[in-house]
């Protein structure tokens, strides 16, 4: 407390430029993991290099990164820190499913919900794997320059219609979710990175996506304590370094403001009642649940007033800094309040340093290629394989493939599809068995007929047996977890026509559980919560599609044609 008071006194006497720099430390902006501006995948949110360099020089204290290879990420983190000078940065990423989920060449692991299902039958094994999951994620993140893992998700996915949490959660009931999240963060933080429990006080029982609109959670305080808060309490007990807020409205706690901007939620519930003393970070303020109702500056000020320490992805960084600085100067935010957040940030960074010497700075053009230059190490590869094998579900036999047929793949979008490169098993293995690839994009009108009982336009497919591969899961900006597509009717239609040769479901367990009872017992079928190429290879191997000959992947064309 004495240190915080000294900072507050210094602020009161500091010139405006010094205060603005102190405020800037509490912002975390979005940047691409790629090194050059033309490589940015999401320029709407990812700042260009000139802006990033200026903001780092002006004191902005953190960057959330996405995209690029592991080697490129290591260079990027070094570059950003050089732009910031001696002021240490918080460098983070949403690597909920391993670092390889976001950065090529690292370990891409099955979604956390896979372990929630395993925990029901083999709790000791599930907890052991969750800790190994955390260690793998923390070790690879640290080796590539990140010091903050934005996970674990502590939401309880007890609503199968949840469009945005879904398989990102560790479990569908609170005790398992809390135990597995705590195991993960214990493993990750042991590797010298900070973890972040999200999305407080619980985004699992919602049917709307806060990226698109403000969800309503109509539960009582008693219900929150028995379900939503349980995993967060477990994470706090396990010494999680940070907590991320949720953009949702809880009338039982605050009928006027979303949790991210509510003192009743952040200060009273999280700080006072649950006793959390670490960093509180907002979810991205560019999400429509906030940006659709508040300006960039006012949202940032309200978040700090409510009890947040760090502002993640404000819609306009300069506007947010200006608004917070003005709020301090006018007494709306006290110097003591600002200094408390700066002190919590300082302690978090010190916690990383205490783990040991950080990864060495590159000394030559070759040095950055060291981490993961040959891919994940043997332990990580074994973990990834074990997780896929333990979460795989198979019924029926293997597929007796002929010389021709159709590989019908459903995707959300063929554009920028990270789990389906040209060499992906879902394309290459069926092609080696003589199946022609045909891709359906979510919400695309082209494959559907006007017949509700026979919704798939089979005449467009061409002849032969059909392998149906469905990539369906909850994801941000989707609006639904299953695309609202008539897959039960498609299954029945293909079976009635004698054309369904096999079914593969990747992602949502709820879709698998919905379709499985409709299958004839002789139809080979399998489910994996993972969608990445490793999961595809293992699943299709169980359906009788072995490793292909060494030849280029087929052209996928444009899917159905009119």
The span from the CA of 388 to the CA of 114, in Å, is 9
Which one from 94, 283, 309, 318 is the annotated catalytic residue?
283
Residue 436 CA, chain-centre distance (Å), reads 32
Give strand pairing partners of 528: 506
∠ Cα 159 164 166 (to 5°): 50
3-state secondary structure of 225: helix
211 included as an active-site residue: yes
Q: Is the peptide bond before 199 cis (omega within 30 degrees of 0)?
A: yes
- Please indicate whether residue 390 is annotated as part of the active site: no
H or E, element range at 313: none
Alpha-carbon distances of 500 from 59, 297, 433, 517, rounded to whole Å: 59, 55, 15, 15
Q: List the Cα angle 145/149/155 in 5-degree steps.
A: 170
Taking CB atoms within 8 Å and a gap of at least 24, the contacts of 116-119 are 116/157, 116/169, 116/170, 116/171, 116/172, 116/176, 116/177, 116/180, 117/391, 117/509, 117/529, 118/390, 118/391, 119/171, 119/176, 119/179, 119/180
3-class state of residue 1 by DSSP: coil
Please answer whether residues 379 and 529 qualify as being in contact, where contact means their C-beta atoms are separated by less than 8 angstroms.
no
Catalytic-role residue among 211, 219, 309, 482: 211
CB 162 within 8 A of CB 204: yes
Tell me which residues are annotated as active site.
211, 283
């Amino acid at each position: 407390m004495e240190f915080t008071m000294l900072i507050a006194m210094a602020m009161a006497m500091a010139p405006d430029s010094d205060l603005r720099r102190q405020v800037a430390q509490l912002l975390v902006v979005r940047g691409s993991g790629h090194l050059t501006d033309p490589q940015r995948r999401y320029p709407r949110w990812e700042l260009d290099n000139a802006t990033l360099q200026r903001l780092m020089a002006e004191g902005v204290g953190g960057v959330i990164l996405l995209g690029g290879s592991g080697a490129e990420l290591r260079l990027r983190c070094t570059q950003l820190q050089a732009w910031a000078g001696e002021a240490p940065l918080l460098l983070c990423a949403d690597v909920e499913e391993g670092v390889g989920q976001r950065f090529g060449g690292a370990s891409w692991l099955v979604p956390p919900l896979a372990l929630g299902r395993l925990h029901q039958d083999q709790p000791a094994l599930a907890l052991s794997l969750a800790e190994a999951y955390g260690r793998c994620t923390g070790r690879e993140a640290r080796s590539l320059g990140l010091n903050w893992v934005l996970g674990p998700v502590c939401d309880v996915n007890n609503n199968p219609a949840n469009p945005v949490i879904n398989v990102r959660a560790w479990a569908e009931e609170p005790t398992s979710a809390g135990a597995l999240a705590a195991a993960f963060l214990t493993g990750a933080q042991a590797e010298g990175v900070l973890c972040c429990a999200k999305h407080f006080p619980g985004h699992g029982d919602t049917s709307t996506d806060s990226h698109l609109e403000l969800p309503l959670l109509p539960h009582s305080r008693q219900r929150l304590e028995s379900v939503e808060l349980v995993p967060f309490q477990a994470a706090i007990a396990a010494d999680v370094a940070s907590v991320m807020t949720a953009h949702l409205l809880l009338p039982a706690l605050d009928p006027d403001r979303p949790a991210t901007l509510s003192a009743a939620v952040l200060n009273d519930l999280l700080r006072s009642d649950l006793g959390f003393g670490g960093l509180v970070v907002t979810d991205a303020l560019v999400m429509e649940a906030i940006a659709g109702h508040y300006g960039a500056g006012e949202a940032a000020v309200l978040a700090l007033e409510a009890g947040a320490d760090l502002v993640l992805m404000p819609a306009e960084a300069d506007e947010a800094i200006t608004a917070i600085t003005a709020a301090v100067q006018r007494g709306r935010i006290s110097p003591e309040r600002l200094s408390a957040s700066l002190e919590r940030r300082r302690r978090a960074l010190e916690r990383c340093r205490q783990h040991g010497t950080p990864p060495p700075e590159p000394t030559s053009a070759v040095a950055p290629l060291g981490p993961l230059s040959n891919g994940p190490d043997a332990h990580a590869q074994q973990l990834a394989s074990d997780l896929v094998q333990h979460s795989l579900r198979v019924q029926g036999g293997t597929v007796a493939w002929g010389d021709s047929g159709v590989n019908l793949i459903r995707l959300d979008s063929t554009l920028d599809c990270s789990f389906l490169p040209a060499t992906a098993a879902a394309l290459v293995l069926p092609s080696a068995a003589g199946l022609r690839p045909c891709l359906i994009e979510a919400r695309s009108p082209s494959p559907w007929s006007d017949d509700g009982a026979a919704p798939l336009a089979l005449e467009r497919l061409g002849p032969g047996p059909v392998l149906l591969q469905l990539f369906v899961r909850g994801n941000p900006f989707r609006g639904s977890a299953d695309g609202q597509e008539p897959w039960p009717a498609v299954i029945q239609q293909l079976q009635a026509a004698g054309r369904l040769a096999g079914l593969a479901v990747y992602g949502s367990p709820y879709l698998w559980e919905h379709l499985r009872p409709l299958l004839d017992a002789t139809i080979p079928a399998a489910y994996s919560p993972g969608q990445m190429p490793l999961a595809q290879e293992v699943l299709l191997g169980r359906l009788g599609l072995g490793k292909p000959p060494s030849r280029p992947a087929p052209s996928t064309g444009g899917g159905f044609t009119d």
